[in-house]
Structure formats: C-alpha cells, structure tokens
Chains A and B, each alone.
Chain A
C-alpha cells in the first residue's frame, strides 16, 4: 500500500545565540554574536500507512511539536524529504492542508466570541465544503460527539471538555484523510477523554482516517494506538508495536512487601531467597521492599513462599510494570533494546 506519510532524513535546525553575561557581555553581543545551531529534529525517517493510528511520544523538547509542524506544513524543514498525502506540505501548503485536519490542544481553531455553528460555517466556506457533503458528514460527527446542544453557544462560554469536542468536530469538517492531534486530551476529565477516544476509534473504522497522536497521557496511546514512534533529543529511538515494547520491557512483575519489622535489610532478604533471580529495591518507607522478578509462576510462588516464611508481613501487592514505567525507563537509559 502507498504510504500516507513518508519522512526521510528529516531535519530542522534552529539558530540561537547565547548571550554573554554581564553588561560588558551585552555590549560585545551588540557587535559579534555567538550563534549556536541546535538540531531540534535530527534526521528522522519513518512511514505511516493509511488507516494506521500512530502514537507519537517523547519528553518535552524531544522534537515532537517541531516534527508535527513540519508534517503539517507550518515549518520548513532544514533538510530531508517529507511527503504527506503525496504532497510536499510546505511547497503546496494551500492545496495540502485541504486534505488534513489539525487539532492543537492548547490552541483554538474556533472563533472566540461567535457561536460554534457560525465558526463551522466560516470553516465550511474556507475549506470549500459543499452543503451536501457537510450535511452527510457533519451530522454524524455532531451526533457522535454529542455537541448538538452546544452549537448555538459562543466558544468562550464552553467548558474545556465541550470546547475540545467542538475543536475536534471543526478539524473534521472537511473529512480529511489524515488527522494530526497534538495533546487533544490535555486537562480533560476521564469521561470526556473516553468519549473522544471512542469517537476517534469510530472515525478510524468508518472512514479509515489515519491518525497521528501526540500526548503525554499514555493511557490515550494504550487505548488507541497499535504503533508508537518514540522521540528523544530529536531522534527516533523506537518505532514499532506498542505490544512489543511492553513484552520486551515489561515482562517482569513487581511484588511489593510491607514487613511488620522495620529493620529489614536487603542483605536479610537476599539471604532468604539466594538462588532466585530477583532484584530488591526499597519502597517509600523503610519497611517496604519491592522485588522485581521474571513473569514466571514458579519463581513468583517460590519467592513469596520463602519471604513470607522467614519474615512477618502486613501487606503484599503484585503489579505488572505499566507502560508509563517502561517509557520512563527507556528515557532514563536513552536507548531501546530489541
């Protein structure tokens, strides 16, 4: 199948100058400046196929926003090749944006003091959508997002959750084949988040809309995306199935013991279970210890049996490693294995 997004060696550099300190430094800056060239996006390459839902994750400053802005035609790349929907986003901007929808969670697409439906009407004109196409498509969108009652209210009177749903509808007004969502669920409550996720899934199934999603809320990614692209310091450090990331990194279990005796030490614990493959870490109190082990019934049972037999415990918990922890681990180590 033809790729809907094709990125090859994409790079964006920003030139910034570092100011010297003090008044004397400021005077010197007037004449000569120390420019530094910082690559915000450092030769990344990836492809996305039609109908995929891809999570685009990374810490703040990893280059997510910059690369999304290059994909949507807002920024011009320093070098490299971008082709989205078969077009070069920056070169053919006006024709290109007709085929994509964009939601920036922290920025509104709608006009602040006019009613939502008036905003939709203006956008309909801007995107040149025919009445028939608008009716066919938007009636469904409005219904599934449940924004019918909000249409005659001005945007400034809407709550964040209501506004976000309207933003989403506005981005889909011209029924784009590709949707960019930058932090769409930021600051929203659980119910609205769920509603938005269900809606996105439905759009994906019904229209085969490709979705590229950046978020800090990994539960969004878990709920929606099969594939994640992970960025760190401007480079792609992982590109693949979310499930595989979990199985490579999250195959262990964590068992948390709370002991009655607060004088417990790592030495005492490792003496109890010396032949088992286990790592001990102290929890947030000195009588709490966490054991990380492989996800293997016999090891887990043996460990619990030995520890409980030797020391009195008041509580025990078995946890699977969450995606969040996996990702935190990856960022701490900076590379992905496997």
Chain B
C-alpha cells in the first residue's frame, strides 16, 4: 500500500519533469537551450518513473534491469545532446537539405 502510494507520487513527479521538458522544447529561443531542456528534464523524469516502478518490481533482477535502462538512456541522452550541439555549431543552424 505504501509502495503503491510512493509509486504514484514518484511517477507523477516524473510526469511534471516530462511536461517541463516539452514546455522548454516549445518555449526556449534557440537549439542549444532546447537541448538543455530535453536532455536534463527528460532524464530526471525517466529517473523518477523508474524509481517508482522499481518499488513494484518482482525481484532484484528486475530492479537492476530498470537501472540498466536508466543508465543507458542517460548515456544516450548526453551523447546525443553533445553531438547535435556540435553539429549545429560546425554546420550552422540552417543547413540545406541536399
């Protein structure tokens, strides 16, 4: 029962971060700022949802699997953010679609 309540709270908190990430994506003025919003807010959102789901997990293997997913997404997020930022820096914000 307590676990269920905690799960609901954690997932709701995570959803707030996802909403904030999308708000930043729509509102921020340039690509770099939008990257900030998407990387950081979404990763924290996912972290909170995963924490919430860990409380419902059946065993240690499931918990570790969720943790593995979070670590992978975290690594992917930072790498992708850096690569998009670098590409925008070197090629300019408006490249022609060839």
A and B: interacting chains: no
- Which residues on B are within 8 Å of A, measured CB to CB? none
- Which residues on A are within 8 Å of B, measured CB to CB? none
